[in-house]
Amino acid sequence: MKIVVLPKQTFDTEAKITLDAAGKINREGVNLIMNPYDEFAVEEALRLKEKHGGEVTVVSFGGPKVPDILRQALAMGADKAVHVGDEGLEEIDEHTTATILAKLLRDLEYDLILAGWRAIDDGSAQVAGRVAEILGLPMVNMVIKLDIAEGKAVASREIEGGYEVVEVPLPAVITAQKGLNEPRYPTMKGIMQAKKKPMQKLTIADLGLGGEEVAPKVRARRYYLPSPRSQGKIITGEPAEAAAELVRLLREEAKVV
């Protein structure tokens, strides 16, 4: 079985977000990691490979540090990696990313495409869906259990108040939700072997793309940080009176009840 995983490099969950002079998100000195939902996707791909045999390819579009997360996936056990660089692209959106990934995927063989259901940075949860749409593939979102048998994927997903089990023919796009699995650590041996595994570097031009095709359709006009949390208020007095005062403040000042 041939599986392609689409991990994205994101800010560390503990990164402190700041804006630069131009009002853009400051990437300077920020620790970058593999998007945690994509780690679930990589792990699931490896488990499926261990069960059914096959090959896992990791593909990512982005800047010069992207090979770090691809190497992490290779160290975990993926077989090969492709990095599509973002050289020459000033601005991108989900359309850009999905167009590029889908174009590359047309040249790859796959039975299954796995991704995280969303990236923790922009949180748009669009890329995997758009890729499925462009490639005309069935798609199941936010999966917490996945079984593959006889050319079909049976996937469980959480829905309001319960679970839904769906079946789709392969090839399909599946996105991972927390709970799908517990990602493994790359082993020391895996880390050493990763450097011998193939990592291909492509440009957008190599894919025959450019210009309007990859121009973003959505543009961010402004970024701003949440206003700093103001000092908390401590209500003193007898519990009953304090509770009454709290309710009054919630109603009249905070206007939340």
Partner 1 sequence: MISFKLTEEQEQIRKLARSFAEKEIIPIAAEYDEKEEIPWHIVEKAHALGLMNRTVPVEYGGQGLDHVTDAIVAEELAYGCLGISGALGANGLALAPILIAGTPEQKEKFLKPFCAKPQLAAFCLTEPNAGSDVASISTTAVRDGDYYVINGRKCFITNGGIASLYTVFATVDKSKGLKGITAFIVPGDTPGISMGRKEKKMGDRASHVAEVIFEDVRVPKENVLWSEGQGFKIAMMTLDRTRPIVGAAAVGVARRALEEAIKYSKQRVQFGKPICENQAIQFMLADMATKVETARLLVWYACWLLDQGLPVSKIGAMAKMYAADVAMSVTVDAVQIFGGYGYMRDYPVEKLMRDAKILQIYEGTNQIQRIVIARNLLA
Residues that bind partner 1 (CB under 8 A): 67-68, 71-72, 75, 185-189, 191-192, 194-195
Nearest approach in angstroms of CB 167 to partner 1 is: 35
**Please, which residue, 11 or 110, has the CB nearer to partner 1?**
11
**Please, which residue, 18 or 187, has the CB nearer to partner 1?**
187
Tokens standing for residue 65: 């540090």
The contacts of residue 78 (CB under 8 Å, 6+ apart) are 5, 42, 45, 46, 56, 57, 58, 197
DSSP output for the chain: -EEEE---EEE-TTPPP-B-TTSSBP-TT--EEE-HHHHHHHHHHHHHHHHH--EEEEEEEESTTHHHHHHHHHHHT--EEEEEE-TT-S---HHHHHHHHHHHHHTS--SEEEEESS-TTT----HHHHHHHHHT--EEEEEEEEEEETTEEEEEEEETTEEEEEEEESSEEEEE-TTS--PPPPPHHHHHHHTTS-EEEE-TGGGT--GGGGS-SS------PPPPPPPP----S-HHHHHHHHHHHHHHTS---
Nearest approach in angstroms of CB 72 to partner 1 is: 7
Tokens standing for residue 230: 């103001």
**Please, which residue, 71 or 118, has the CB nearer to partner 1?**
71
Are 204 and 89 within 8 A, CB to CB? yes
**Please, which residue, 189 or 221, has the CB nearer to partner 1?**
189
Nearest approach in angstroms of CB 36 to partner 1 is: 12
Nearest approach in angstroms of CB 31 to partner 1 is: 10
Nearest approach in angstroms of CB 46 to partner 1 is: 15
**Please, which residue, 199 or 215, has the CB nearer to partner 1?**
199
**Please, which residue, 12 or 20, has the CB nearer to partner 1?**
12
Nearest approach in angstroms of CB 185 to partner 1 is: 6
Nearest approach in angstroms of CB 191 to partner 1 is: 5
**Please, which residue, 185 or 224, has the CB nearer to partner 1?**
185
Residue 205: CA count within 13 A, CB half-sphere: 3
